[in-house]
Structure 1
Amino acid sequence: MRERWRQGRAARRAHHRRRGLRARLTRMFALVAILAVVLTTVLTVGATFRVLAQFGPGVGADTAWDAATWQQVASGAGRSIIRSAVQAAFLSALLAIFVAGLVTRQLTRPLARLADGAERLRAGDRSVQLPIPPRQDELRDLTATFNDLTLSLARQEAWRRGLVADIAHDLRTPLAVLRSEIEAMQDGVQPLDGAALARLHGEVLLLARLVTDLRTLSLAESGALSLEPRLLDAEEALRGLAEAYSVRAVEAGVTLTVHASSPLPLHVDSDRLRQALGNILDNALRYAAPGPVKLSAWADGEGTHLSIRDDGPGFRPDDLARAFERFYRADASRTRDPQGRASSGLGLAIARALVEAQGGRLAARNHPEGGAEFTLTFPVPSGEPPSPQTRMVTRAPSSSR
């Protein structure tokens, strides 16, 4: 894919070299120079022949001219030739001015539109869309890039507004609960006991988790996240995840099954990989329980794949398109799991950001046999061919850590 992209880019560059703005200018001014030379040559040579035709019959073997006559004839011929050369230079200058005017008009019109569009963009108008020039040249590419830029800025601004609104909403709910609980305690309506303090503590934990998740997401997407990649085995990573979540799986009535080829080397940050897998598995326990959840790993020509698949209801079409959006929940009423654990609504967005920060990709789909499936794909470390050996590890609901 990358090689085809490079070949296409090289072909586009070669096409621009042949038909681009620089080529147009080169051909245009070369044409002007050729026409100027031709015009000067024709007029000068024509003037020379006219002069020769004036005194040609008088030049013969029996004709003797004195010095004054020769001087007069030569002077007239020189003036005629100079006059023709001046006329040719004047006409060449007019031709160059005319052609330059046409060329600069073609150049400055889209540039003026770009300057006007940039001024409108600076003033806050994100709906600016400029007409695309018809010629396949750098100005067309620049205008198309400018239009893409304005569309991207409009999407980012809409995303920022939505993000601020979502953050305000998710912060407002626990703050409102804290305020109502504290005011009820101050008024004596609510007793200050262990249960009330536990509720307050839970809301504080939700706020802390939301702030931590926002910071992690920001660091991952900005490329400022500290990573310590090392070689590890995919099967061991999935087995460790199943061990860590075995108690929660029992409580939710979920069977965790690990199916992986061994060895499957990964060159990733183990803590960040565990965090991404944990967020995805937490999502499965929250929305797909009770039922089995399969954790799988395999390798092919694209890289090493880690998959978490549940047997829940899967995604609705709109939910699948927005699965990795910040604060998006497929079921707005299920902001907490059955055990009462709070959700910040950022788990899947953080998982994708953590995977992409390590050179991988995360995809979600509805499995053909039912349920939702999340697949993490990482490039295979060089010199580490995948092995066809396969092992099975199962965690049943009756087991405990």
Structure 2
Amino acid sequence: MRAQTKLGWILFGYGIVAFGIGYVALRFALVLPPGRYAVMQGLAVATVACIVIGAFAYLIAATFTRRLASLAEQANDVRQHPALHAVEVGGGGDEVAAIARVVNDLRARLTDGEEARNQLVADVAHELRTPVAIIRGHLETMLKGAEELRPENLLPLLDEAKRVSRLIQDMRDLNLAESGRLRLDREWIAFAPTLDEIVSILALEAEDKDVTIRTEGEWGGELYCDPARLKQVLVNLIGNAIRYVPEGGNVLVAYEASPGELRFRVTDNGPGIAPEHLPYLFKRFYRVEASRNRMSGGTGLGLAIAKEFVEAHGGSIRAESALGEGTSFHVVLPLFPLHP
């Protein structure tokens, strides 16, 4: 049976009442002796019934019209200033109140989205401020003749240009992943050789800090994934561990396969992370220590990118840490794609 609205049920109920009153009035007029008085009495009862029904119908229509007008006015205020207004129409759980709840839900989402966009713009502007200032400062110095145009003087400019280019590329990849539009070029690859390749790439950075990187695992199988994205995840997690572990520290990458999935973890014996920071580790531009700059703490996008790339493969990632004991990132990836 087709669902009826509450207003429809109310009007239907009043229609039944009106029919009943009219029927009683008619029967009353028919059973009385013929005469002008009996007919007039029946007509009077019918007239009163019509007046009562009309009054009830007017009150119902006026009430709903007034509430709908209030809803439209408040919705317009929400459209213009979503952060300052909310819709309130009362009336319990009827359809108008349900529409108000939907409008308030859309308002909350719109407000959250606007805040996220504003924060993103502020974060990007903050990250770009320093490299742009460095490039501008060096160029102005050269133009004034205080610094010669020599290759060694151009190296800082090249480094900062690369940093800006990497930030832009990271932001692009992150936005594609968050919107579900990241393209994955999957193929079968052997995980162990891929991990060894990444460790060898990061070995020089580890040697500079006297950090030891170890791998543990005997699984020699293959993983169906996007090799470039998987390598980026490994680089971000292992590089992050090397960056934050103290000199002489240790980084362990352990992996194992279980039915249908590959598990690996990156563990360091660094200072650890306080519990209040753990829920925000995978947020873009988030740094545990606000005092860290981009030179020592990266762009703040590495963990966010790792999370999005892992989830794009249908996997999951989580962090565990204790102050003074180190940090561990646990990754689970399906051996086979969830969708063809």
- When the two structures are superposed, what TM-score results if normalisation uses the length of structure 1? 0.70
* SS of residue matched to 1:198: helix
1:347 lines up with 2:302 in the alignment: yes
Flag the 1:382–1:184 CA change in 2: closer, same or farther, 3 A: closer
* SS of residue matched to 1:256: strand
Q: 1: distance between equivalents of 2:100 and 2:251?
A: 50
Flag the 1:369–1:143 CA change in 2: closer, same or farther, 3 A: farther
Structure 1 residue 205 displacement after superposition: 1.1
Provide the residue aligned with 1:214 in structure 2: 171
1:42 lines up with 2:24 in the alignment: yes
Kindly report which structure 2 residues correspond to 1:160-179, keeping only aligned pairs within 5 A, or say none. Answer: 160-179=117-136
| Amino acid corresponding to residue 272 of structure 1 in structure 2 | R
1:335 lines up with 2:326 in the alignment: no
Q: 2: distance between equivalents of 1:142 and 1:224?
A: 32
Q: 1:372 aligns with which of 319, 323, 327?
A: 327
Q: Tell me which of the two structures has the higher relative contact order, counting C-alpha pairs closer than 8 angstroms and 6 or more residues apart.
A: 1
Provide the residue aligned with 1:262 in structure 2: 219
Q: Which runs of 5+ in 2 are unaligned?
A: none
Q: Is the 8 A contact 1:40 1:85 kept in 2?
A: no
Kindly report which structure 2 residues correspond to 1:110-189, keeping only aligned pairs within 5 A, or say none. Answer: 110-131=67-88, 133=90, 135-189=92-146
| Amino acid corresponding to residue 348 of structure 1 in structure 2 | L
Flag the 1:329–1:87 CA change in 2: closer, same or farther, 3 A: same
Higher-Rg structure is: 1
| Amino acid corresponding to residue 327 of structure 1 in structure 2 | F
Q: 2:147 aligns with which of 155, 167, 190?
A: 190
* SS of residue matched to 2:206: helix
Aligned-residue identity in percent: 30
| Amino acid corresponding to residue 294 of structure 1 in structure 2 | L
Provide the residue aligned with 1:25 in structure 2: 7
Q: 2:250 aligns with which of 277, 283, 292?
A: 292
Q: Is the 8 A contact 2:176 2:182 kept in 1?
A: yes
Q: 2: distance between equivalents of 1:143 and 1:305?
A: 46
1:199 lines up with 2:156 in the alignment: yes
Q: 1: distance between equivalents of 2:97 and 2:263?
A: 41
Flag the 1:132–1:356 CA change in 2: closer, same or farther, 3 A: farther
Q: Which runs of 5+ in 1 are unaligned?
A: 1-16, 55-75, 384-401
Structure 1 residue 301 displacement after superposition: 9.3
Q: Is the 8 A contact 1:296 1:306 kept in 2?
A: yes
| Amino acid corresponding to residue 165 of structure 2 in structure 1 | A
* SS of residue matched to 1:136: coil
Structure 1 residue 302 displacement after superposition: 10
1:188-234 CA-partner distances (Å, limit 9, x unpaired): 32233332121121111112112212222222222332222345565
* SS of residue matched to 2:32: helix
Q: Is the 8 A contact 1:234 1:306 kept in 2?
A: no
Q: 1: distance between equivalents of 2:273 and 2:208?
A: 24
1:249 lines up with 2:210 in the alignment: no
| Amino acid corresponding to residue 44 of structure 1 in structure 2 | L
Structure 1 residue 169 displacement after superposition: 2.2
* SS of residue matched to 2:294: coil
- When the two structures are superposed, what TM-score results if normalisation uses the length of structure 2? 0.81
Q: 1: distance between equivalents of 2:115 and 2:32?
A: 77
* SS of residue matched to 1:362: strand
1:276 lines up with 2:258 in the alignment: no
Q: Is the 8 A contact 1:127 1:150 kept in 2?
A: no
* SS of residue matched to 1:120: helix
Q: 2:311 aligns with which of 337, 345, 356?
A: 356
Q: 2: distance between equivalents of 1:309 and 1:132?
A: 54
Q: 2: distance between equivalents of 1:279 and 1:268?
A: 17
Cα RMSD (Å) of the superposition?
Answer: 3.5
Structure 1 residue 360 displacement after superposition: 3.3
Q: Is the 8 A contact 1:206 1:343 kept in 2?
A: no
Q: Is the 8 A contact 1:132 1:144 kept in 2?
A: no
Provide the residue aligned with 1:388 in structure 2: none
